[in-house]
A and B are shown apart, each in its own frame.
Chain A
Amino acid sequence: QSALTQPPSASGSPGQSVTISCTGTSSDVGTYNFVSWYQQHPGKAPKLMIYDVSKRPSGVPDRFSGSKSGNTASLTVSGLQADDEADYFCSSYAGSINVFGTGTKVTVL
């Protein structure tokens, strides 16, 4: 039950795009299409942004998109806005349990 690996930080200027990777193993990301992504602002609860690898819940802008290839999932935020500055965590089903990523702090320059 090791945490999924994410880069500690990512950044981009307003209007640009940033992509965050989430690397797991054949026991989680590589086997299941149950990858989700969460945004967390300081002092706040996490917010679901993507589920089932690439689906967006109602109310989440289409600037947020997800994908997966092999053992690595990715979240892309296009058209960066100031409010996108936050921590982002991936999560994957791993057979009866979930496992989260190490987290990525996104900075809007």
Chain B
Amino acid sequence: EVQLLESGGGLVQPGGSLRLSCEASGFTFSTYAMSWVRQAPGKGLEWVSGISGSGGSTYYADSVKGRFTISRDNSKNTLFLQMNTLRAEDTATYYCATWDWNNYYSHYWGLGTLVTVSS
């Protein structure tokens, strides 16, 4: 059974940093591209970032480019999102999800971790 478990969310002040993790199990992690998708409270989904299975290719939404960094450790089946210079508008539940590299859809999703940016 595919499982994705996010962690690392919490309350952070504007301008601060946070690192999210997503531990994967139930599939061969290194063969799957992965993504982060966020959802502000009461709002819609927003694609944030994606990374290839090898980690050699990364992609970002304009809203986070230059502030967020996606990475992965295939030896530990773990996906990361380093978030710097956080803003109030980054407040959201962050989901990690698989990302089909050829057809660009997300089949498996985690339960999400809440990030709150507030003073």
Contact = CB atoms under 8 A, between A and B. Distances in A.
Interface of A: 1, 3, 32, 34, 36, 38, 40, 45-48, 51-52, 57, 89, 91, 93, 96-103
24 contacts: A1-B61, A1-B63, A3-B44, A32-B104, A34-B104, A36-B104, A36-B106, A46-B97, A46-B106, A51-B100, A51-B107, A52-B105, A57-B107, A91-B47, A91-B106, A97-B47, A97-B61, A98-B35, A98-B47, A98-B99, A99-B47, A100-B44, A100-B47, A103-B45
B110 interface: yes
A103 B42 CA distance: 11
A36 B105 contact: yes
B105 A48 contact: yes
Nearest to A36: B105
Given A98-B50, A100-B47, A1 B105 contact: no
Interface in B65-99: 95, 97, 99
Interface of B: 35, 37, 44-47, 50, 59-63, 95, 97, 99-100, 103-107, 109-112
Contacts of A97: 47, 50, 59-61
A98 B63 CA distance: 13
A102 B112 CA distance: 19
Nearest to B62: A1
A3 to B, nearest CB: 7
Contacts of A51: 100, 103, 105, 107
B47 to A, nearest CB: 4
A98 B97 CA distance: 13
Contacts of B109: 45-47
B3 to A, nearest CB: 12
Contacts of B46: 3, 100
